[in-house]
Amino acid sequence: MAREGTQAQSGVAHLPLSVAIAAALQVAEQRGERVFIVGGVVRDLMMGRGVGDYDLDLVVEGDGLAFAQALQSLFQCTLKQHQPFLTSKLTPPFSYEGGDGPLLNELDVATSRSEEYSSPGALPTVRPAPIEQDLWRRDFSVNALALPLLDYAKLRSHELTPEQAIPDIVDPCGGLADLRSGSLRVLHPKSFIDDPTRLFRAVRYAVRLAFDFDLGTVAALLEAVRGGALSTLSPRRVWNEVLTALDEERPAEVIEEFSARGLFSNLPVVSPERLDEVTQALARLEAVREELAGELFLVAAKLVVLAALVEDGREDIVAAIHEGNKVAKRARAVVSAVVAHEPPSDVPELVAAYALSGSDDMRMALESALQGGGD
């Protein structure tokens, strides 16, 4: 989250982005290693889109674990390393001097690497590799872009424009051309089989960016769905993808596309019979999103989907996704409220009940609850 940085801090919960960049550039120079920002941040910068909540994920061509240790010694912070995946996370408390602008809650550092999957749905085995190989292990070409950290620093200080940075972008997969044409292209024909969560990610990106799948991606998606790749995912992993979709700007459209592409064929989190009801409810939530403070939108959206499962008699799915008895009980309360045309007193349940029913009485009760500061 963006806040203003301060001077001479010790043991604090946030790190100025400018300080993190300067320190990483210093360590890279000392160690003689190249360091990049990679993926969605580069994509969004090149598209002129807002980056969103500030974070900094660094990819080091060399020894990212040692690189992160060097940063820890500068910031005197907590360091967690996952050696099998060659990744590190630096977390508060941080100590630093100077800096301004947005503040980071954490800093991620990864070694540029290759990966292999032993079986569909399994976690990968990773090895250090040049940045070009690291980019080839990504999901889609538009996410397989690496920008040198120094260029990112110059973009932030307005010494460079995105157009001027293009020659320095590492783009072995043709991602920049796909950005220009609005095409979402998977990098490997078996990518969705190796990691079926990419099926959900593909749809989310297509909706968010208003991109079209290229023909090879459509074929790969169909092969994975029809070949049973989704059966390798646990119910909880599928549910996590649904929760991520509900947090998108247009969740109703994403859920509709999930269904249209067959992503609920193995685990009908949203059944064909309930699809219109759920997407219409989510569309009502989208219309009042600005009125819903904090996590209220996401909690209500989750209750909408769970309530539809309860209506379908799919308590087995509700149990399998491990949301807990309390949440399941709230979903049942939403169903009861809609059937009884009785606005619930619990605000998230009321929001969900309004979304599912669309009734004027629920809407009036919701307006009254929000004006009263309920949450």
Residue-wise pLDDT for 126-152, tens only, equals 899 999 999 998 899 999 999 999 999
Tell me, what's the pLDDT at 6? 46
Cα–Cα distance for residue pair 209/183, rounded to 1 Å: 10
**Given 147, 181, 215, which residue is the final one in a domain?**
181
Tell me, what's the pLDDT at 51? 57
Cα–Cα distance for residue pair 358/284, rounded to 1 Å: 8
Tell me, what's the pLDDT at 371? 84
Contact 292, 340 (CB under 8 A): no
Same domain, 41 and 156: yes
Does residue 229 form part of some domain?
no
* Amino acid identity for residue 286 in this structure: E
Tell me, what's the pLDDT at 173? 97
**Given 115, 150, 181, which residue is the final one in a domain?**
181
Does residue 192 form part of some domain?
no
**Intervals of the chain under pLDDT 50:** 1-6
Same domain, 257 and 166: no
Residue-wise pLDDT for 56-88, tens only, equals 899 999 999 999 999 999 999 999 999 999 999
Select from 323, 321, 275 the least CA-distant residue to 299.
323
Same domain, 248 and 118: no
Same domain, 247 and 165: no
Same domain, 167 and 252: no
Same domain, 117 and 248: no
Helix axes 347-357, 296-311, angle to 10 degrees: 60
Same domain, 14 and 160: yes
Does residue 258 form part of some domain?
yes
| Angle CA 49–53–56, to nearest 5 | 95
Residue 351 sits in which domain range? 234-371
Same domain, 301 and 367: yes
Does residue 189 form part of some domain?
no
- Give Cβ neighbours of residue 330 (< 8 Å, ≥ 6 apart): 303, 306, 346, 348, 349
Tell me, what's the pLDDT at 2? 38
Same domain, 171 and 255: no
**Where residue 162 sits, what CATH number does that domain have?**
3.30.460.10
Decide: helix, strand or coil at residue 244.
helix
Same domain, 18 and 164: yes
Tell me, what's the pLDDT at 56? 84
Residue showing tokens 């100077």: 98
Residue-wise pLDDT for 262-296, tens only, equals 999 999 999 999 999 999 999 999 999 999 987 99
Contact 40, 122 (CB under 8 A): no
Does residue 353 form part of some domain?
yes
Tell me, what's the pLDDT at 160? 92
**Given 181, 196, 224, which residue is the final one in a domain?**
181
CA atoms within 13 A on the CB side of 309: 26
Tell me, what's the pLDDT at 3? 42
Tell me, what's the pLDDT at 5? 43
| Number of folded domains that form the chain | 2
Same domain, 67 and 163: yes
Contact 149, 21 (CB under 8 A): yes
Task: Name the phi and psi angles at 275, rounded to 5.
Answer: -60, -50
The torsion angle over the Cα atoms of residues 251, 252, 255 and 260, rounded to 10 degrees, is: -140
Does residue 251 form part of some domain?
yes
Does residue 4 form part of some domain?
no
Does residue 97 form part of some domain?
yes
Same domain, 117 and 19: yes
Tell me, what's the pLDDT at 102? 85
